Amino acid sequence: MKLERRVIPAVGAFLLAIALAPIAWRASAQAQEKGGENETGPYEVLAGWPKPLGHPGWTWGSQGGVFAENPNRIILLQRGELPVPEKAPEGYTGGYGAFGTPATQGKPRLEHCILIVDADGSLIEDWTQWDHLFAGGRGPHKVRISPYDPEKHVWIVDDEVDQIFEFTHDGKQLVMTWGEHGVRGSDDKHFARPTDIAWLPDGTFFITDGYVNTRVVKFDKNGKYLMTWGTKGAGHGEFNLPHSIAIDARRRLYVADRSNSRIQIFDENGKYIDEWDNVRSPYDIMMSEDQYLWVSDGVNNKFLKYDLNGKLLYSWGTYGSFPGQFWGVHQFAVDPAGNLYAAETFGGRTQKFRPKKGADPATLVGQPGKVPAS
Q: How far apart are CA 205 and CA 223, in angstroms?
A: 8
Q: Where are the alpha helices (DSSP H) in the chain?
A: 2-31
Look at residue 374 in the predicted model and tell me its pLDDT.
79
43-363 folds as Neuraminidase (2.120.10)
Per-domain boundaries in the chain: 1-32, 43-363
Given a cut of 90, is residue 214 above it in pLDDT? Answer: yes
Look at residue 17 in the predicted model and tell me its pLDDT.
44
Segment 53-71 mean pLDDT: 95
Mean pLDDT (the chain) is: 92
Q: How far apart are CA 126 and CA 133, in angstroms?
A: 15
Look at residue 370 in the predicted model and tell me its pLDDT.
97
CB 151 within 8 A of CB 139: no
Residue 239 makes CB contacts below 8 A (sequence gap 6+) with 214, 215, 230, 231, 232, 233, 255, 257, 260, 264
Residue 127 makes CB contacts below 8 A (sequence gap 6+) with 113, 114, 115, 116, 167, 171
SS3 assignment, position 65: strand
Look at residue 91 in the predicted model and tell me its pLDDT.
82
- Of 334, 291, 347, the C-alpha closest to 66 is 334
Segment 125-132 mean pLDDT: 98
Reported as a pLDDT band with limits 50, 70 and 90, residue 31 is low
Query: CA angle at residue 273 from 271 to 274, to 5 degrees?
Result: 140
Q: How far apart are CA 174 and CA 187, in angstroms?
A: 23
CB 343 within 8 A of CB 68: no
**DSSP 8-state symbol, 258:** G
Given a cut of 80, is residue 26 above it in pLDDT? Answer: no
Amino acid at 141: H
| Radius of gyration, CA atoms only, the chain | 25
* HSE, side-chain direction, 13 A CA sphere, residue 366: 18
SS3 assignment, position 87: coil
Instruction: Give the number of other CB atoms < 10 A from CB of residue 215.
Output: 23
Look at residue 55 in the predicted model and tell me its pLDDT.
92
Look at residue 92 in the predicted model and tell me its pLDDT.
86
Look at residue 87 in the predicted model and tell me its pLDDT.
87
List Cβ<8 Å contacts ≥24 apart for 258-264.
258/282, 258/283, 258/298, 260/234, 263/293, 263/295, 263/306, 263/310, 264/236, 264/237, 264/239
Question: How does pLDDT run across 67-109, given as a tens digit for each residue?
Answer: 999 999 999 999 999 999 988 898 888 889 998 899 999 899 9
Segment 337-360 mean pLDDT: 97
SS3 assignment, position 166: strand
Question: How does pLDDT run across 315-348, given as a tens digit for each residue?
Answer: 999 999 999 999 999 999 999 999 999 999 999 9
Query: What number of residues does the chain have?
Result: 374
Q: How far apart are CA 165 and CA 175, in angstroms?
A: 8
CB 64 within 8 A of CB 78: yes
Question: How does pLDDT run across 275-300, given as a tens digit for each residue?
Answer: 999 999 999 999 999 999 999 999 99
- Tell me the Ramachandran region of residue 131: left when phi exceeds 0, alpha when psi lies from -120 to 50, beta otherwise: alpha
Look at residue 32 in the predicted model and tell me its pLDDT.
62
Question: How does pLDDT run across 159-204, given as a tens digit for each residue?
Answer: 999 999 999 999 999 999 999 999 999 999 999 999 999 999 999 9
Look at residue 94 in the predicted model and tell me its pLDDT.
85
CB 100 within 8 A of CB 116: no
Given a cut of 80, is residue 36 above it in pLDDT? Answer: yes
As a whole-number percent, the residues of the chain with pLDDT over 90 amount to 85
Strands (E), 251-318: 253-257, 262-266, 272-277, 282-287, 293-297, 302-306, 312-316
Look at residue 5 in the predicted model and tell me its pLDDT.
42
Residue 319 makes CB contacts below 8 A (sequence gap 6+) with 300, 301, 325, 326, 327
Predicted model pTM: 0.91
